[in-house]
Amino acid sequence: MSELLLTAYNGSILGPIAKVLGWFMDKIYILLSALGFQSIALTIIVFTFFIYICMFPLTYQQQKFAVLQRKMQPEMKAIQDKYKGKKDQASMQAQQNEIQSLYDKYGISQVGSCGFMLIQMPILFALYRVFYNVPAYISSVKNIFTDLVSGIMATDGFANKMQGVFENSGVKNLNPTFSGSDTSVISDSIIDVLYKLPTSGWEAVTASFPDLASSVDTVVAKLERINYLFMLNISDTPLNLIKDGWSASNKNFALIVCALLIPVFSYLSQLANIKLTPTSTEGQSEQMAQQMKTMNLMMPLMSLFIAFSVPVGLGLYWIAGAVVRIIQQYFLNKHFEKIDLESIIEKNKEKAAAKAEKRGIRQAQIYEAARMSTKNSSMADKANLVNSESEALKKADEFRAKANSNSLAAKANLVKEFNEMNNK
């Protein structure tokens, strides 16, 4: 697997996750190739289904939490209304206790949804890294560039020529290195740039390295076979493809329409997924309901605009992921329509009672420990006071015993002895 690590993202957190996911993607590509399907686009679709199937247990729990949260919203609002405007410590603590008891009753956690999101987000960000640099993770794709890269590096002045190709290509979010002593880094940088080149960029490579024209044609032909979704280069952005189609001598409207379909389908699929996801404003404040409505409107629009500026492969992943979520959501909705929520709540009530009892016992233990600590401290203070007084009297007696016969202390000692004799 060492060949996959050369151009892979090496972040301390996302790096290892991306490499594991990339390893699975590479195996899927190899399997599809053995079946006669050499297509990165198809690999992305199959890989997306694989990822969402693996994440289904998390999705199920998240949906279950969402259903139960909608069920408890009226009770939650009643608690909030009960303590509305009360800012004293006792009221705030009582409100928190009632809210915790309500969550226990429904068997969900106050941070449950956040927990699921925290698990899923690193996976999603790592997937972005995988799709952003496919050759780093699919060795069969990386090997396509091997001969061409060797020829480029053997050409005099290749560093300046590649820098010119990169600067004029429109490729962004890269920081390639074309000089230095580490030939592996240079080779990887060239592959990174070549993989993301638009059609016009390949023409620039041929112009800069005319002796490698045949190698360039071979690489382009292979990429057209494995790296294209219909007319779309999946490493290029829809925006660049639209510009290429419009700037062509004979305007390529077919390319423009196909490029437009990626952001449009991304928007429609996200919108359909939101529409299919059950929501309820019961028990919510008007402000919260409006915020939810705005979010449901903005998220698909964000997907629409972002899809123009990211590689087609990422847009394809979003679309495939949305389709998978739509299918999952449809069957989950059917499942939760049949599920007996009251039975779940009754079981959770028993668990909630046990939790409350444990909390009560624990709080009682804390109170008793604090009380005993205070009591022991008070008794210790009294004992220390008695000991201090006894010690002071003892020292006073010793001082008087040693006092000079003509001193006031000696006379006081005689008075003390006289009183003691009379008391007997």
Give a yes or no: residue 364 inside a domain: yes
Give a yes or no: residue 413 inside a domain: yes
Give a yes or no: residue 276 inside a domain: no
Give a yes or no: residue 25 inside a domain: no
Give a yes or no: residue 238 inside a domain: no
**What's the mean pLDDT in 313-318?**
86
Q: Which of 22-36, 103-117, 380-394 has the highest mean pLDDT?
A: 22-36
Round to whole Å and give the CA distance between 170 and 280. Answer: 46
Which pLDDT value is given to residue 12?
64
- Domain containing residue 410: 342-423
Closest CA to 304 of 267, 258, 262: 267
Round to whole Å and give the CA distance between 237 and 260. Answer: 10
Round to whole Å and give the CA distance between 192 and 55. Answer: 30
Round to whole Å and give the CA distance between 184 and 161. Answer: 18
Tally of domains in the chain: 1
Q: Which residue has the higher pLDDT, 48 or 375?
A: 48
Name every residue whose Cβ is closer than 8 Å to that of residue 8 and which is 6 or more positions away in sequence: 15, 18, 19, 22, 129, 133, 136, 137
pLDDT in tens, 72-107: 888 888 888 888 888 888 888 888 888 887 877 777
Give a yes or no: residue 226 inside a domain: no
pTM here is 0.68
Which pLDDT value is given to residue 289?
66
pLDDT in tens, 134-165: 888 888 888 889 999 999 999 999 999 999 99
pLDDT in tens, 203-262: 899 999 999 999 999 999 888 888 888 888 887 789 888 888 888 778 888 889 999 999
Q: Is beta strand 232-233 parallel, antiparallel or unpaired with respect to 228-229?
A: antiparallel
Which pLDDT value is given to residue 147?
92
Give a yes or no: residue 241 inside a domain: no
Residues of the chain with pLDDT > 70, as a percent, come to 73
Averaged confidence pLDDT in the chain: 77
Long-range own/partner contacts, residues 303-309 (CB < 8 A, 24 or more apart): 303/263, 303/266, 303/267, 303/270, 304/263, 304/264, 304/266, 304/267, 305/263, 307/238, 307/262, 307/263, 307/266, 307/267, 308/237, 308/238, 308/239, 308/263, 309/237, 309/239
Q: Which of 38-47, 85-94, 271-280 has the highest mean pLDDT?
A: 38-47
Give a yes or no: residue 118 inside a domain: no
**What's the mean pLDDT in 23-48?**
89
**What's the mean pLDDT in 22-49?**
89
Which pLDDT value is given to residue 1?
34
Q: Which of 41-55, 97-111, 387-401, 409-423 has the highest mean pLDDT?
A: 41-55
Whether 8 shows a pLDDT value over 60: the answer reads: no
Cα torsion 321, 271, 285, 348: sign: negative
- Tell me the β-bridge partners of 229: 232
pLDDT in tens, 361-373: 555 554 455 555 5
